[in-house]
Amino acid sequence: MRYLYTLLLLFFSVSVFSQELSNYIHVDQFGYTPEAIKVGVLSDPQVGYNSAMSYTAPATIEIRDAVTNATVLSVTPVLWNNGNTHAQSGDRGWWVDFSSLTEEGTYYLYDATLNERSSIFVVGLAVYDEVMKTAGRMFYYNRCNAPKSEPYAQGWADGDNFLQDTQTRYIYDQGNTALEKELSGGWFDAGDYNKYVTFASDAVHDLLAAYEENPQAFSDDWNLPESGNGIPDVLDEVKWELDWLLKMNQEDGSTIIKMGSRNFEENIESPPSLNTDTRYYGPTCTSASIAVAGMFAHASKVFSGVSGYGDFAALLQERAIIAYAYVQPFVANGTLETNCDDGSIIAGDADRDVEAQEEEFVVASAYLFDLTGDVLYNEYIINKVSELQTVTSPFWGPYKIQVHDALLLYTNTSGADATTITTILDSFSSDAQNNYNGYYGMSDEDLYRAFQPSFSYHWGSNNPKASYATVNKLVIDNNINPSQNDSYRGYIDEVIHYFHGVNPQGMVYLSNMYDFGAERSVNEIYHSWFYDGTDYDNAVTSPIGPAPGFVTGGPNDSFSVTTLTPPSGQPAQKSYLDFNDGYPNNSWEITEPAIYYQAAYIRMLANSVAVDDVLSVDTNELTTLDFKIYPNPTSSSFQMTGVKNRGELKIYSVLGQFVHSEIVTNNSIVDISNLTRGMYFVKLNQDTKTSTQKLIVN
């Protein structure tokens, strides 16, 4: 993994075509579905850290088959916006539309004039399947109180961690053992090892909604300890978090707001298993009770439809009702608690202001009304809806997705008030049809084709970036403006391409994705496990590198360290640096991952994952051939995993030349010591099905 980027450059520039991987030709490095709009971006930097570089598009760009090197299509680049500079990126550029390329295969864009090529990409129905699995596995690596052992660890093995969470102390009475609580489980929130109830809300709701919107996008083969248990692994991950949230929620409905360390010197070791300092829980808070009421009710709705999880769904509904009842007097009396987290437990402030708590109370009300039909929940929504900023603005943007989901759920719930339904739908329709801020549907305003308003390129900008795509999905699903559905669908695809390399950095905004088709990927993330100077520091130069699939915060044009350029002093989309330094360089403002960024990305991507080759919730038999190569890259041999029975393995060079074959079974070790350095395609034929993986020989 750490050598892949360098090897790809070496192999393609020397061994094969003498072509250079271009800084100016931007494509989705994983690829495109056959019928998708496919537009590459050619960039000529004018402003920002790369302004000394320059590029002029040739008369034609070739699209070449990566195996045969044959030109399959030639396209004339179209100058974007009359050659004007795009303010958000500081670049001028051209678009290359190769949408007519629909045949499945492996390709790249080629500038024959300058001998430069794009990253190699795939055209195929299942082009994002492995990306989805890898992004989903971020939650596995962020599991607290769980060992990371092979074969699940896939190279990032670690022992059990934070065993002390079974005896968590109360932060305001640290020596009192009688107040110890068993609070193991859950996910690390972000780059730190702490766990927050309020911060979990967006992640849990987004993952549940992603499953509801497209259940067939989620398989049971993410290589988790629970894989093969008959339910999609995304729900296994959500249950891991819910089991911890149930511990944080008390019998009377009050809920502890967060738990973790008391200062920045404790529990900071890498890997997680090395941390043994006592951990502490904070006070209960109304914001935490409201959050779990909504999460539990939403999860009860989902798990009630999963075979064998009826009792779990019933428990979640019961606890949601109790938590809601606990906090209802605080809502009615205007006494919601807003200063529960005083920083005694570091690091993030988990408090919510009154407006945010009242909005999340609407979320809980909507899901509980849908579950129970109780007029109590209906009445709160009826009385509150005309006060919600979402409705009155109207602004159905990316910052309150869970509120949007709840309001739209209400419009489809039996017994809902007709006037309230009209108020909600009229507001959403007004925002979408007037498109006040330009984020609905395809737009020519962004050279990189994934427009979002400049005010959203802040700390964690990848979160709203993905959520703008989700807003477009909500417009489609709720039949708000059906004549524009193709435009909304196209916008979702373009945002996905932005994450996968169609951005000024030409970078996949997920960590260490080289084994999955990326040629330029995030190398460093701000995470306590993968911290600067550890073996996990850098995907290219460190012995191990960070685990794959972590979504970073993204460009931040409000980066606070003004002396560090980039990311400071750049156009919004270039306010990024691939680094993970701690204080005083504050890389967490740029490259820190978080469970809510991750969930927003997964929800967006789920709408483009192939639905005809994944696992049904009714069976634990894989319906597609899926195997793994480990290690990859390798110089002498690799091991096969995920092979059922026996299969015929064939290896081809990047030019399509057959170089090796043998019969393999699961865990077979394949000797490739006779192969020269470079990239190969490994094909496994089994039960009339064929699956292909890339192999890097170093």
Question: Is the CB of residue 60 less than 8 Å from the CB of residue 67?
Answer: no
Report the C-alpha gap between 109 and 101 in whole angstroms: 12
Taking the CA of residue 456 as centre, how many other CA atoms within 13 Å lie in the half-sphere pointing to its CB?
18
pLDDT at 615: 31
Interval 451-460: pLDDT, tens: 999 999 999 9
pLDDT value at residue 689: 66
Which tokens is 136 given?
A: 């989903």
605 sits in which H/E element: helix 595-605
Q: Does 293 score more than 60 pLDDT?
A: yes
**Share above pLDDT 90 across residues of the chain, in percent, rounded to a whole number:** 85
Ranges of H-type helices in 304-435: 310-333, 354-372, 375-384, 389-392, 401-410, 418-434
The pLDDT value recorded for residue 656 is 63
Q: Around Cβ 433, how many Cβ atoms within 10 Å?
A: 13
Partnered with residue 686 across adjacent β-strands are 689
The pTM score is 0.88
Strand order in the sheet with 646-653: 658-665, 646-653, 678-686, 689-697
CATH class of the structural domain 129-354: mainly alpha
C-alpha to C-alpha distance for 623 and 215, rounded to whole angstroms: 15
- The rounded distance, in Å, linking the Cα atoms of 433 and 231 is 39
d(CA 520, CA 8): 10
Tell me the range of 256-270, 603-617, 619-633 where mean pLDDT is highest.
256-270
> Is-contact 542 535, C-beta < 8 A?
yes
C-alpha–C-alpha distance, residues 569 and 580, integer Å: 19
10 or 279, which is more confident: 279
* Helices marked H in 103-251: 129-136, 138-141, 197-213, 233-248
Stretch 117-131: mean pLDDT: 94
Rounded-to-integer distance, Cα 498 and Cα 468, Å: 12
- pLDDT at position 359 is 98
The reported pLDDT for the residue numbered 688 is 63
Task: For domain 628-697, give its CATH number from 2.60.40.420, 2.60.40.3080, 3.30.70.100, 3.40.640.10.
Answer: 2.60.40.3080
Calpha distance 126→535 (Å, rounded): 33
Beta bridge partners of 660: 651
pLDDT tens digits, 316-371? 999 999 999 999 999 999 999 999 999 999 999 999 999 999 999 999 999 999 99
62-65: long-range contacts at Cβ-Cβ below 8 A with a sequence spacing of 24 or more?
62/109, 62/110, 62/111, 62/112, 63/98, 63/101, 63/107, 63/108, 63/109, 63/110, 64/107, 64/108, 64/109, 64/110, 64/117, 65/105, 65/106, 65/107
Residue spans of the domains in the chain: they are 4-127+501-591, 129-354, 373-434, 628-697
The answer to whether the beta carbons of residues 399 and 358 sit under 8 Å apart is: no
Residues 6+ apart with CB under 8 A from 449: 39, 41, 95, 442, 443, 494, 497, 498, 502
Q: Which of 109, 112, 113 is nearest to 98 (CA)?
A: 109
**CA nearest to 391, candidates 379, 381, 380:** 381
Amino acid identity, position 27: V
b/e for 225-237, b at 16 or more Cβ within 10 A?
A: bbbbebbbbbbbb
Mean per-residue pLDDT over the chain, rounded: 92
pLDDT at 645 (0 to 100): 78
DSSP state of 40: E
520 CB burial (10 A radius; 0-12, 13-18, 19+): buried
- Across the range 19-33, mean pLDDT stands at 93
What per-residue confidence (pLDDT) applies to 652?
82
Mean pLDDT in residue range 92-120: 96
Q: Name the nearest CA neighbour of 605 among 482, 499, 458.
A: 499
Phi/psi at 330 (5° precision) = -65, -40
Spell out a b/e string for 239-262, using b for 16 or more CB atoms within 10 Å of the CB, else e: bbbbebbebbbbeebbbbbbbbbb
8 A C-beta contact, residue 678 and residue 653 = yes
> What does the DSSP 8-state code read for residue 398?
G
Instruction: Using alpha carbons, list the distances in angstroms from residue 325 to 140, 293, 309, 361.
Output: 33, 9, 25, 11
**What is d(CA 622, CA 204) in angstroms, rounded to the nearest whole number?**
26
Has residue 567 got a pLDDT over 90?
yes
Spatial neighbors of 274 by CB under 8 A, at least 6 apart, are: none
DSSP 170: E
pLDDT at 376: 97
* CATH top-level class of 4-127+501-591: mainly beta
Q: Judge whether residue 617 has pLDDT over 60.
A: no
- In this chain, the answer to whether the domains covering 129-354 and 628-697 adopt an identical fold is no
Task: Report how far apart the first and last C-alpha atoms of the chain are (Å, whole number).
Answer: 11
- Per-residue pLDDT at 412: 97
Residue 92: predicted pLDDT: 98
Angle of helix 462-477 relative to helix 595-605, nearest 10 degrees, comes to: 40
Report the distance separating Cα 333 and Cα 336, nearest Å: 8
Per-residue pLDDT band for 610 (boundaries 50, 70, 90) equals: low
633/437: higher pLDDT: 437
pLDDT digits (tens, 9 = 90+) for 168-226: 999 999 999 999 999 999 999 999 999 999 999 999 999 999 999 999 999 999 999 99
Cβ within 8 Å of residue 442, ≥6 positions away: 449, 487, 490, 491, 494
pLDDT over 70 percentage in the chain: 94
Q: How confident is the model at residue 239 (pLDDT cuts 50, 70, 90)?
A: very high
Residue for token pair 């430069």:
116
What contacts 24+ positions apart, CB below 8 Å, involve 661-669? 664/640, 665/640, 666/640, 666/641, 666/642, 667/639, 667/640, 667/641, 667/643, 668/639, 668/640, 668/643, 669/637, 669/638, 669/639, 669/640
Q: Read off the pLDDT of residues 648-682 as tens digits, 9 standing for 90 and up.
A: 888 987 556 789 989 999 889 999 999 987 677 88
pLDDT of residue 468: 98
pLDDT of residue 631: 85
**CA-to-CA distance for 448 and 506, rounded, in angstroms?**
10
